Chain A
Amino acid sequence: MTLDTIDRCVAVLVGALCAAAVVTGLGMPGDAGVFPVITGTLGLLASAGIALGTLRGRAPDDLPPSLPWPRFLLWCLCVLGLLGLMVTAGAFVALPLFLLASLRWLGHLRWPAALAIAVVFSAVIYVVFVYLLSVPLPAGWLVA
């Protein structure tokens, strides 16, 4: 997809969002809706401006930088795994596993190096947040 096509899609999407804000705002009681209507209109105008700009075709062949999809999806999977594990299994199960996986498969570090960094870094996080700042991170399976 060229940047122009993307801009057009973004303009339609954001325009629809802003239009929804305007419509909802008009239905709000009192002066609660004034600001949503004003900002929604501003967004609609900007979307319209961008859509019109693409029709003039400034740079029709301009492409966004290419995205290595396999790496992108692998990284997204790692991040989702981190969040999912953090709430179920606890922060200090999720953190080392996430670091290990992403350092090994995305950073191409060797297993021992990845493992060492993962453990040391998790320990640093533990010392700083749990020990020094007493932040109640989700404990999960390691609940004392």
Chain B
Amino acid sequence: MKTQSRLARKVVLGAMATILTGGLSTATLAADYPNKPIQMIVAFGAGGSTDTMARIFAKYAEEELGQRVVVVNRPGAGGELGWVHLANADPDGYTIGLINSPAVEVYPFTREDTVGYSLDEIRPLANVITDPGVLAVVADSPYQSLDDLVAAVKDDPESVIISHEGVGGDDHLAALNFAEEADIGLSFVSYNGNAEATAALLGGHITAFEGNMSEAAAQIQEGKARGLAVWADERVEAIADVPTGKEQGYDVQSAASRGFAVPADVPQEVYDTLLAVTRDVVDNPEFRAEMEQLNMPVNPIYGEEYVEFIHDSHDRLKALWEKDPWVEQ
């Protein structure tokens, strides 16, 4: 990290020198923005769902900006490394990044001692995707509803095993929330990704799968899995047969969302330009169609509203954490 920040400082100094000697003010800099390719930091590996969305977005953003948008994958530490790079990037608008909520606002307090960025260093720009949580069982499972599952757990707590994708992730928090609502204790098993968890579900090694809609939708549409609940306010179009948790009397809301952010000190003009571009891309019917095909529900939240959304979520989860930390320290 030390070498990285030193490098960053060098680059910043170099950039400042260029600005001073060129006699450019930030205003004129912003006026012809963008005049070179823009880096888009993806905090997860190439080919993952965040990366897929980023690359499709970049394709449309390039048309709007008239500049290349280069996707740079900086995976590691569940996204943290990428966000450290985003937070430390030059605030000139030529580096933007994707942030995944709730992970991005959770790390600053769950990893308090080691985390390499703070929320003050990142300025959220716009949310694009909100992917609600889904609880699913295999198609030939005896459980038809959440009530069946709760009854089974009350009968024999060891008979139900639910998978999630890592302690403290949105899936795990959703399942914990559900357990609290239903007043039961659940047995969990952790999987490192959607692929292995799906295989375990279809192979009958676990009772239920807690994941995101975009991951489970294909199996549910194929009739290989049955969705017991979707943790959202309303039913989701792609899997309209699946009732919400609320309908069944368990008021649980959970989603993983993906949006864009920039380093905190980006000039307001640049921020506005990027916001306008994001609006145009999100309103583009072709972009919407591609997202729909990937079962990624578009849910735009722009500018200050998104900043507020992230900070609200941060405060809410932090209060939860302080009451009952889900990670042992």
Contacts and interface: CB of A to CB of B under 8 A. Distances in A.
Contacts of B3: 87
Contacts of A140: 7, 10
Contacts of A68: none
Which residue, B3, B7, B10, B72, has most C-beta atoms of chain A within 10 A? B10
B35 to A, nearest CB: 12
B196 interface: no
Contacts of A136: 39, 72
A29 interface: yes
B44 to A, nearest CB: 17
Interface string A107-144: 00000000000000000000000000010101010010
B328 interface: yes
A138 B7 contact: yes
A88 to B, nearest CB: 8
Contacts of A143: 11, 14
Interface size class, chain B = 10 to 19
Contacts of A64: none
A134 B328 CA distance: 41
Interface string B7-45: 100110010000000000000000000000001000000
A46 B281 CA distance: 60
B70 interface: yes
A134 B70 contact: yes
B328 A29 contact: yes
A30 interface: yes
Given A87-B3, A138-B7, A143-B11, A30 B328 contact: yes
A143 B72 CA distance: 18
B92 to A, nearest CB: 13
A30 B328 CA distance: 9
A29 B6 CA distance: 37
Which residue, A29, A30, A87, has most C-beta atoms of chain B within 10 A? A87
A92 to B, nearest CB: 15
Contacts of B6: 87-88
Interface in A72-111: 87-88
A129 to B, nearest CB: 14
Nearest to A136: B72
A62 to B, nearest CB: 42
A88 B280 CA distance: 40
Interface string A42-58: 00000000000000000
A22 to B, nearest CB: 20
Given A87-B7, A140-B7, 12 more contacts: A29-B328, A30-B328, A87-B3, A88-B6, A88-B7, A134-B70, A136-B39, A136-B72, A138-B7, A140-B10, A143-B11, A143-B14
5 contacts: A29-B328, A87-B6, A134-B70, A136-B39, A140-B7
Interface of A: 29-30, 87-88, 134, 136, 138, 140, 143
Interface of B: 3, 6-7, 10-11, 14, 39, 70, 72, 328
Q: A-B pairs with the 3 shortest C-beta distances?
A: A29-B328, A87-B3, A143-B14
